[in-house]
Amino acid sequence: MAGGNCLATNDWICGEYLRSRSQELTDATVQHIGITVVSVLIGLAVAFPLALLARRGRGFAGPVLGLTTILYTVPSLAMFSLLLPLFGLSAALVVTGLVLYSLTILVRNILAGLEAVPEEAKEAARGMGYGPGRLLWEVELPLALPALMAGLRTATVSTVALTTVGSLVGKGGLGNLIEDALPSFFKAQVLAASVLCVLLAVAADLLLLGLQRLLTPWTRIPAATGDTRTGAGDASGEHPGGPAGIPAPAKVEAG
């Protein structure tokens, strides 16, 4: 029902609710986006050095991957309870929990991407005088971007969903609206907040997919030649180059 009586009859679809609560929905959405973005960016900043550490050998990979996996299995209520003495009832509590949950996805994908860089590409870079630092930033990391971006997309969508759990401490964005509506089963509010949460996840995934394609043009199959082979070259038989003129690896599917 779209008329003003839909609030009184507690309909699922209610235009009057959207009109009268538009500012509340906007504020909750902005908070949801802010918490998600900050959590994912901090998670990425923490996961990258952990992945580099794990790459040094099995002695490091086991503890790093094991610890991040254990953190991912901790129930959200227990996680927030453990962090509560440190951060109190604040947004920092929610962000820290979301960062810890994102690590297992990000670390594994960054590590997989770096380990998938072809040895011949690294040898070619070393032959051109690249040192370890330049090799990492200009060759290995760009070639690992497909796997890294796949992990970033998964972590972002997961974080959008998990942010709603922050409603336990009043910092859950759209989750706050859902929790507030549950005691009275306010259908329009539950549906509106849930739909917005899904739309945020879809929009974030599509945005990151577009960014991935923009940053990794060498992974695209050349449309003009009609060649559908992975890593195929152009009509002259030349292979498309990766970053810094290094031959690109075989295409990595990123979802």
What burial class does residue 19 get, using C-beta atoms within 10 Å of its C-beta: 0-12 exposed, 13-18 middle, 19+ buried? exposed
**Average of per-residue pLDDT values in the chain:** 81
Q: What is the pLDDT of residues 128-140, one digit of tens each?
A: 888 888 888 888 8
**Which architecture characterizes domain 4-245 according to CATH?**
Orthogonal Bundle (1.10)
pLDDT digits 0-9 by tens, 151-199:
999 999 999 999 988 888 888 888 888 888 887 888 888 888 899 999 9
161: burial class by Cβ within 10 Å (0-12, 13-18, 19+)? middle
HSE toward the beta carbon, residue 22, CA cutoff 13 A: 5
* pLDDT at res. 100: 94
Q: At residue 216, does pLDDT exceed 90?
A: no
Residue 255: predicted pLDDT: 41
Domain map (residue ranges) of the chain: 4-245
Q: What is the pLDDT of residue 236?
A: 38
pLDDT at position 21 = 80
User: Is residue 2 predicted with pLDDT exceeding 70?
Assistant: no
pTM: 0.78
**Greatest mean pLDDT among 14-18, 110-114, 200-204:** 200-204
- Asked whether the beta carbons of 149 and 189 are under 8 A apart, the reply is no
pLDDT tens-digit series, residues 227-244: 444 444 443 334 445 555
* Dist CA 113 CA 172 (whole Å): 32
| DSSP at 1 | -
Question: Residue 221: its pLDDT value, please?
Answer: 61
Give me the pLDDT at residue 239, please: 43
For the chain, state the CA radius of gyration.
23
| 94-111: average pLDDT | 94
Instruction: Look at 121-130, 143-152, 187-196, 240-249 and tell me which has the smallest mean pLDDT.
Output: 240-249
Question: Quick one: what percent of the chain has pLDDT higher than 70?
Answer: 84
Alpha-carbon span 171 to 31, nearest angstrom? 8
Residue 46 has a pLDDT of 95
Residue type, 190: V
Place of tokens 């810094």: 244
What 3-state class would DSSP assign to 54?
A: helix
> How many CA atoms lie less than 13 Å away from 11 in the CB half-sphere?
15
Looking at residue 246, what is its pLDDT? 55
For 148-217, the DSSP string reads HHHHHHHHHHHHHHHGGGGGGGT--THHHHHHHHTTTT-HHHHHHHHHHHHHHHHHHHHHHHHHHHHH-G
Q: How far apart are CA 209 and CA 220, in angstroms?
A: 13
Whether the pLDDT of residue 254 is over 50: the answer is: no
Q: Which amino acid is at 30?
A: V
Contact indicator for 149, 212 with CB cutoff of 8 Å = yes
What is the reported pLDDT for 44? 95
**Amino acid residing at 88:** G
Structure tokens at 224: 């003009």
